[in-house]
Amino acid sequence: MAEIKLYSAVVCPYAHRTRLVLQEKGIDFDLIEIDLQNRPEGFTKVSPYGKVPAITHNDERVWESAIINEYLDEVFPNPPLLPSDPIARAQARIWIDFANTRFVSAFSDLLRSSDVQKQEEAKQQLYKHLEFIENEGLGKLSGEGPYWFGESISLVDLTYFPWFERWAALKEYRGFSLPAEFTRLKQWKHALKERESVKAIANSKEFYIQRYAKYVAPTPVGV
Per-residue DSSP letter, 44: G
Distance CA 56, CA 181 (A): 42
Residues contacting residue 189 through CB under 8 Å, at least 6 positions apart? 161, 164, 178
Query: Which member of 9, 12, 21, 141 is catalytic?
Result: 12
- Is 12 annotated in the active site? yes
Asked whether 122 and 164 are in contact (CB, 8 A), the reply is no
| Cβ–Cβ < 8 Å for 174, 108 | no
Give the three-state DSSP class for 90. Answer: helix
Distance CA 120, CA 123 (A): 5
List residues with catalytic annotation: 12
